[in-house]
Structure formats: C-alpha cells, structure tokens
Structure 1
Amino acid sequence: MSKIEKIVPEGYHKHKIREFLKEELGLSTRLIRGAAIDKRILVNDKAVKMNYVISRGEKIVIDLNKNETQNIEPEDIDIDIVYEDDDILVLNKKPFMVVHPTRSHFNGTLSNGVMYYFKKTNQNCIVRLVSRLDMNTSGLIIIAKNQYAHMQLSNEMREEHFQKRYLTLVHGNLKEKQGTINVPIYRESEDAIKRVVDDRGQESITHYKVVESYKNAELVECLLETGRTHQIRVHLSYLGHPIFGDVLYGTEDKEFINRQALHAYGLDFHSPRTRKELSLRAELPDDMKLLIEKLKK
C-alpha cells in the first residue's frame, strides 16, 4: 500500500493538521479534502478531522490508495517498463502506439496495457498520465499511480530541473552544431493539427546539439525548456532541417523510415516521495537504428 508517513516536528506543535499537510507536505486542498472524507488521514492510527490540533512527535499517515474507476478496458499488451516504484511507472512507448484511448482508438493503446498490468499485479491504480507522446513518437512516458505523485510531478514539470531529452534524425547539416531555438508556436484554429511559428503564439524554447553527422543528415539531441505540442518538429522544420519521416512538417521518407524519427530517450526528475534524483534512459528503437545505418552508407 502507498502511504506517506511523517512525525510532527517541533515547528508544527499545536498547529492544525490542515496547515501541516499543505505547508510541510505540499498537498493540494483537493487531495486533503478527498482523503479526509474517506478517513485516509490518520494521527496515531486514528482518523481525524482537518481542524485537529497536532502535537510534536505524533505520527501522521496519509493513505494514498483510494477506490477509483476508469473507462479503460484492460488488454494484454506488451509494455516496456523502464522504472517502477510505489508512486510512478515509467514506460518506453513503442512507435505507432496511441497513449490514451480516443474515439478513433478505443483499444490497443498504452493505457489499455497499463490497466491490464495494474490488474495483473493487484495494484489499485488508474492511469494518470504525467507526460504524453504523439502516436508515432517513441520513448519515455511517466504514469503516476496516485493523486499525490501526479500533483508533485505536474508541479515539477513547470520547473527547470525536470528535463525531457529527445533524439531525432534531421535532413541536412546544421550550420550551428549546437544552440537554442526560441520562437513562438501558434495554433491557427481550434481544429488545426499543424502548428506554425508566429508571434501570436506561446513562448517555445528548444536547446539542441548535433550528436553525429552524416552526408546531408544529422543525429540531434534536443532538450525541451517548454513543452508545446509538436515543439521539436516545428522548431527543426523552421530551421530548414525537418525530421526524417515527418509528413506534417517535412516530407514523406518511406525509403528511410515510415514515421517521424523522434525518440524521447531521457527523463531527469525527482522522485515525488523521496526527492531522490532519477535519470532514466531508453535506447533508440530499431527503426531509428536502421535509419542511421542507411544514412552512414
């Protein structure tokens, strides 16, 4: 079972428990309210109300498990687990896999596979996506197992020390082998899929570095400072170096690869509970390895 356990320090002696949970543990009002209603907040093994006055040395336990349902059918789909603990599940998503069910992709998604895994391993969790990837983009995705972990990671994603790293293969050879692309990205209409560089858009920052050069192509590492939809694809196309296989922002390259050659290979962040630094990596998928071999020839 997933729980947070804390001993009340001297500084919170004679404070209301609500203050301690919000200030010391950083819990949201919504989480506190729900846990209190369900009697999942205990002091010395007894459920308490939020006006309870705590004393130094008392043991506070917040049970993060709650009965929840989600309209996602469990399916026996192979998922590649890179890291797992009581709070998070990090997966290496295969290319051509939708992350979450939609009207056009109700089954066969990554979330269907995760629900099956949770059921198989007797984990009372729903799928809380911390990050997402396009169907044709491969790589690392974080799923929170509880409301607390999702809240902590969502907050950290807005800070600089949460790093998302990508590897991609682009057409042509960049003049500057490393640099920063800082141009706004805009969605011209609500039903538009394609994004454009436009002053009306949101600030979008991508740091890039050429890892390996080939004849008229390069392997590029991208580090996102912001997380706009299609950000890397838009920015590299804007530089005149579209990603191989990116039909939307470049050209169709079926002789090389049948999707955009973009892989979310690295995540650097803190464990939501222990604050331990996690640095997770996923190697390039086979289709991108094959593309590199073709480019070398």
Structure 2
Amino acid sequence: MEETGTGTGTGNNGDAPPPVKRRRLLRGEEKRPGRGERYVPPPRKLNPGVSFGETHFAETCYYFEGGLRKVRPYHFDFQTYCKGRWVGKTLLHVFRTEFRAQPLDYYCAAARAGRLRLNEQPVRDLGVVLKNNDFLRNTMHRHEPPVTAQPIQILVENDEMVVVDKPSSLPVHPCGRFRHNTVIFILGKEHNLKELHTIHRLDRMTSGVLMFAKTAEVSKRIDEQVRQRQLEKEYVCRVLGEFPENEVTCEEPILVVSYKVGVCRVDPKGKPCKTVFQRLSYNGKTSVVKCFPYTGRTHQIRVHLQFLGYPIVNDPIYSMEAWGPNKGKGGEINKTDEELLRALVEEHRSKQSLSVLDISEEDLKPIMGSEECDRSGCCTKPVETEPMPADSCRPEDSEGQKEVEILSSLQNSDTRPQTHDTDSEGASSSGIRDGHSEEKDPLCEECKIVRQDPSPKELVMYLHALRYKGAEFEYSSKMPDWALEDWDEN
C-alpha cells in the first residue's frame, strides 16, 4: 500500500509532493546542519568547581636553584567554550581582541602547526565564524615565574581544616602566569592535600596564616563568620619611618586603579574600609607595626599605610618613587591613573624588577601607550567583519621567512618541539631532569628570552598574616625574622 500525505489530496497524479513529516528533537539533541554548514556538537557536561588531579600535577615538575623554586616549561591546553559575545565573530577577531597574550602572528603560525583545535578538529582558517557551543583548545608553551624556595609549613591539619604558613611571592591558586608555583598545586603535589576549599586569600607577596577547608560545609560555615565580621585578623609589617606610639585608625575608602597591574589608591569614590595600627618597635629607621583590618579590601593594609606616610619598607608597588616625592602620603599623587601606571612600570623596568608585577609584555603595551601591539595592530587596527582565508594571516617579508623557518622545524616533530640535551650543571636551559623533558618550543617567544632571575630577597615583602581567630578556632604563626626587634637588615 502506498502512503499518501494527509490533508493535501495528492495521489499519483504528481500535482504536489507529499508533505514531509519532521521528527521533533529530543531534549538536549542538537539540530543537524544543512548541506555546507559546519556542525557543532552539543556541549560536554563539565564538573562544577575547581579540581586538580594527578593528570594536572604531572604536567611538569619543580627544581630548586639559587634559593628559588622553579617550574620546568611545559605544554598546556587552554580550553574554553565560545562565549556569547564571540558568536558570529571570526576566530581571527577573537584572537585580536581577547587573546592578546601573544601577537597575532603567533596564532597564525600555531594554526598552521595544528596547535589550534575547534571542536577537537585542527583549525587552520582563522576566518572561521564561531557558533554557540564551539569548543576551542589552544596548546601553549608555558613559562612560570620563579618563587621563593621557602617551604610551605603546615600549621594545622585535621578532619575539617588545613592551615599553612604561606611564603611570600607564592599565589594561593592558579592565576595569570602561575599554575604549578601556587599553594594549591604544591599542597596537592607534595603533601597529597587535594580538593581543598579556599576560605580566604592572601596577596601573592604577603606571607602568613592561610586557611583551607576540607569540605564545602566547613567552608560555608566559616564564610558566614566572615560575612558577619566575626573573623579577627592580625597582621605584622615593617614600615619606613617612626610610626606613632599611640594607636592609629585609618578609614579612608579604597579604589582599584588597575586590576591588571594590581594597583589601588585612596579615593572618595572607593569602597569603605577600616584598619587599626599599633606600633611594636622602632630601630631608628623603620618601625614594626601590628595591623588589624576590619574589612577585606584589596591591598587594604598596604594602601592605608602609604596614605598615612609609612609605606611597607620593600613594598614593590606602594613604596615606589612613582607616587611622588612623598610616596603618596595623604593621597597626594599629582598624576592621573594612566600616568601613575606608566611611572610604576618604568621604575620597575629601570630596576629590572618588572617580573614582580606579574604582567605580560602584551598587557604592558596599552599601559605604555604603544601605537601598535604587533605587526597587525591587533589593539588599534579595525577588526575584520568578513571571514578571512588562512593565507590572509601570513606575515610578509622577514616575518614570512621567520614563519617558514618555524614551520620547517615542526615538520619532523609532529608539531611538538624537540628535546635538547642537559648541560653539565643541570641548569634551567633545556634537557631531561627528574624524568621530565625541558623543551625548547620553536613557536614560543619566551624560549628565546634569557631573563635574569630575581634574588630571593626581592621576593619577600615585609607583611605577614600573624593570626586568624574565629568563633571556634584560632590559628597563629611565629613572628617572621624581619619583625623581631633585634633584626638587622644587613
């Protein structure tokens, strides 16, 4: 029996084709593309929250040199789903406007080398238009800055909490250029302490008491104490000058000048905050001061001390000449925010200590007023609105020759860089040590730069979290050496 359409009266006379019965899509099912359209698979279900396991810890390893903890360079996949603002834009547009850690020429070469994948398929045409749920994977060669070799001391560990004494220069969790050189990763890799919940954070350059919860329930319970202002915090620092003997309270509001550089200042438009200070000692040049922050604003203690005219002795931001002859005392800066940031960067450049700020060269360019970020002018040149063929990314003249050399070196290595032999002293140049290969990546500009390591002394700031007390706990660390009354800076 021949099936006929319904409601059309068509038979075998060919007057009209029978209607097509379309199947309804099931929940979560993706509509298949039409002919010539690019198919985007449905998104994968990702585990909520931040969790690091053995696969992450095995990416690279540590070694110690010159009083520093270092991480061997390693390859890492940056992964992200297409954001709403990217839909309908070309991949070229996204790299130009949002992925500025590398110049555009790098991404062009990386695409041809197979380092860029869209929905797990190599993508060589940066003119491809992104769709909702597109999954982008970008393999990069990571170089992490060194941190102090001072170990993380575990103060308390029980069924609910892990409390450590954090060294200066070490971030709490992965951020910016730091991943393995962080408290979270070191505790996981060296102490088998995993799935920890961050209760509070300390600035990278601040040392001292740092608490983690082992369960979400404990974390929520202490978070509630923080919101109810039931958590007592006590810090100690060493500041320039003779701090007043009487108790000093500062309630100046604080405004963030730059999240990228990490700079704040006192400003009436800022957020309200309060810090109480008590002097412990004075040695004729510097004072040791206890600090009791009643709020938790970014850089609160450091900014308030600067405003009072007693900045922390070796503060890499708030004790710099860039703030003016009085180093920002009383909020007198006499610079715009842009001028201040440029002056801070220039001062660190002159002292060859720019690494302390932890910002990339690409982030520096808009601060320093560079006319072009790279050959393609990714920050200033208008973005293309039409899909572009892959060849449109090809650099010309000397840059084109450079790319030819890069691609040639990749042909026999399956897009992964070759491993070099170790040197006689086991230094950090390249080679295989401790079972891990330290590689030179022909696409990586950082591999071609020889950077001077900071000294361990440069990585210590004289600000320390001494005590944290809650409704049912109290954790303290010992007084740091630089806070002792008989301490000699020399």
CA RMSD of aligned residues (A): 3.0
The match for 2:461 among 245, 254, 260 is 260
Match of 2:477 among 277, 282, 285: 282
Shift of 1:117: 5.6
Structure 1 residues 263 and 190, CA, compared in 2 at 3 Å: closer, same or farther? closer
Tell me by how many angstroms 1:289 deviates: 5.1
Structure 2 equivalent of residue 269 of structure 1: 470
Higher fraction of strand: 1
Match of 2:184 in 1: 111
Structure 2 partner of 1:216:
285
CA distance in 2, matches of 1:269, 1:144: 14
When normalised by structure 2's length, the TM-score is 0.41
Structure 1 position 136, deviation (Å): 1.5
Question: Among 313, 320, 324, which residue is 1:251 paired with?
Answer: 320
Matched, 1:149 2:218: yes
Distance 1:235 1:165 in 2: 15
Output the amino acid matched with 2:232.
Answer: Q
Query: Greater shift after overlay, 232-241 or 159-168?
Result: 159-168
How big is the shift at 1:137? 1.0
User: Which residue is equivalent to 1:294?
Assistant: 488
Matched with 1:41 is none
How far apart are the structure 2 equivalents of 1:97 and 1:69? 19
Match 2:305 to one of 231, 236, 245: 236
Q: How far 1:149 sits from its partner (Å)? A: 0.7
Residues matched between the structures, number: 219
Q: Percent identity?
A: 27
Distance 2:253 2:237 in 1: 21
Instruction: Please give the per-residue CA displacement for 1:189-235, whole angstroms capped at 9, x wherever unaligned.
Output: 55452101001011110011001122031100001100011000000
Which stretch shifts more, 257-266 or 186-195?
186-195
**Residue from 230, 238, 242 that aligns with 1:169:** 238
Q: TM-score, normalised by structure 1?
A: 0.66
Q: Conserved in 2, the CA contact under 8 Å of 1:165 and 1:221?
A: yes
CA distance in 2, matches of 1:103, 1:236: 27
User: Does 1:201 pair with 2:270?
Assistant: yes
SS at match of 2:474: strand
SS at match of 2:263: coil
Which of 91, 95, 98 is the equivalent residue of 2:164? 91
Inter-partner Cα distance in structure 2 for 1:106 and 1:133:
16
- Provide the rounded CA distance (Å) in 2 between the counterparts of 1:230 and 1:68: 26
Q: Which amino acid aligns with 1:293?
A: W
5+ residue gaps in structure 1? 1-66, 271-276
Structure 1 pair 138/199, CA: closer, same or farther in 2 (3 Å)?
same
**Structure 2: which 5+ residue stretches go unaligned?**
1-47, 63-150, 322-350, 354-454
Query: AA paired with 2:161?
Result: I
Quote the residue 2:95 is aligned against: none
DSSP 3-state at the match of 1:248: coil
1:80 aligns with 2:61: no
Find the counterpart in structure 2 of residue 8 from structure 1. Answer: none
Matched residues in 1 for 2:186 and 2:259: separation? 30
Structure having the higher Rg? 2
